[in-house]
Amino acid sequence: MTPDQTTPSDPTTRYDQPDPEPTIPHPGRTSDMATEPDHGEESYRGSGRLEGRRAIVTGGDSGIGRAVAIAFAREGADVVLSYLPEEQEDAETTARWVTDAGRQAVLVPGDVREEAHCAEIVARAIAELGGVDVLVSNAAYQMAQEDGILGITTEQLDRVMRTNLYAMFWLCQAAIPHMAPGSSIITTSSIQAYQPSPELLDYATTKAGIVAFTKGLAQQLADRGIRVNTVAPGPVWTPLIPATMPGEKVDGFGEDTPVGRAAQPAELAPAFVFFASAESSYVTGERLGVAGGRPMP
């Protein structure tokens, strides 16, 4: 049974740990998973906190991105969904949840590793929604390497850096000139920025960079009334996990947290809503960790 977001519950038993999961092809589709994540489809209840806002969510097809899109729509926002072309099926599912909430969904397939595509995402938001009030840079790439740095090819390093860092930079460059005071930029960092896993060295490096970028950009944009914050998840059950990690790492994923399990995407969405809404109007340059009790400095 999907937990009700409004009912207090024991976090250690709120969700069952996923069953053993076979690896799936990258980039990973939700329908390929033996245990599909909860994105808040049946539980998230909006209260108008983003009424009339226009949001971009990269990586919006599945996982955290889908949960954020559903929550934003139920809070009253229209949403541009950015995703890889091979994730079309998942993106269309997310779009249906957005439109079911009575909001507009704009689908923009493409690869954020290309600067021109990042500009196109923002241009579509302006053309079809009339502007951008919230930018969520969430798309990410990782691929675990058991041999550590010796197993990371230049091709992989380039893909991780361009997806996780370059795209965030380009999206902000394209969006900021069109963002009015009161707008919000939300990046997605990770506990990996503070507790890097050896097999995810390149990914962890980008996540640390995202934290620094967020703090620096927040200072640049404060006088323009644009806030910049980051959500730092711990282990979250998404298609990226069985698509990029070896089977022995997937089984029991998240059990080493104090809470004893991985998060579900639905548990991340409220943090993004907080940063996107006026409830955080005096918060900028901050990191909100959602990591099941794992400490971050």
Q: Which residues are catalytic?
A: 203
Separation CA 207–CA 181 (nearest Å): 27
Backbone angles phi, psi at 65, to 5 degrees: -60, -45
- The C-alpha atoms of residue 297 and residue 294 are separated, in whole angstroms, by 10
